[in-house]
Amino acid sequence: MKKLLLLHTLLLLTVLFAEGRHRKVKVYTPYGTMVIRLYDQTPKHRDNFLKLARSHFYDSTLFHRVINQFMIQGGDPDSKHAHTGDMLGNGDVGYTIPPEFQLDLFHRKGALAAAREDRPDKASSGCQFYIVQGKVFTDEQLDKLEKTRLGGRKIPVDQRQVYKTEGGTPHLDQSYTVFGQVIKGMEVIDKIAAIKTDGNNRPVTDVPMRIRVVKKWLFF
């Protein structure tokens, strides 16, 4: 009896441990589905995103700001019932999240990061996010970024290599919180980024989304 109880307890702990590590979400769009892994290193952003996804907060919101070779942004609740041409990007949930900058989490292509207003504490929006498309950089371009937009901060060698091969947006590193990474459906980013936009970078054809938490147990 004691052995069965111990086995049951160990199994429960294994499930709970697995459930809490590197949760994944699926982002469904008209252009395909992206699978995103959320980082445990940014627990406040991870848990907030999971909470909103589970409550179906993002259903019918739009990717309302799209800039080719930069990023696709969404999560504005005002976008759910927006009319054509409406200015979007100011909707929120009434709270912010403290920044969770990590040196090894950077703006490579496919990075999921929190949008924010221009504020000194660099706190993140409670709901708006963006997914990086970016572009491929040369050593010369990265050297220039280090001296100008990065204020002399050196890009680590391994991250520099990623920016030279996969691409990204290095000038945003350590200024906006990266809290996830697209691990499947990278082509969806390119498809959305290529859409025709208006003067406010809003796609002329709406790009709605819905987000679901991937439900898996034990090995996740």
Residue-wise pLDDT tens digits, 103-126: 999 999 999 999 999 999 999 999
Q: Nearest Cα to 167, choosing from 138, 144, 137?
A: 137
For residue 19, pLDDT beyond 50: no
Residue 3: per-residue pLDDT: 54
For residue 42, pLDDT beyond 70: yes
**Side-chain half-sphere CA neighbours of 108 within 13 A:** 21
C-alpha 63/C-alpha 160 separation (Å) is: 29
Helices (H), 71-201: 139-147, 157-165, 186-193
Residue-wise pLDDT tens digits, 153-187: 999 999 999 999 999 999 999 999 999 999 999 99
For residue 5, pLDDT beyond 60: no
**CATH class, 24-136+168-213 region:** mainly beta
Mean pLDDT (whole number) for 46-66: 98
Residue-wise pLDDT tens digits, 179-220: 999 999 999 999 999 999 999 999 999 999 999 999 865 444
C-alpha 45/C-alpha 11 separation (Å) is: 28
The DSSP element (H or E) to which 182 belongs, if any, is strand 178-184
For residue 67, pLDDT beyond 60: yes
Mean pLDDT (whole number) for 12-40: 80
Kindly state the percentage of the chain with pLDDT values over 70: 88
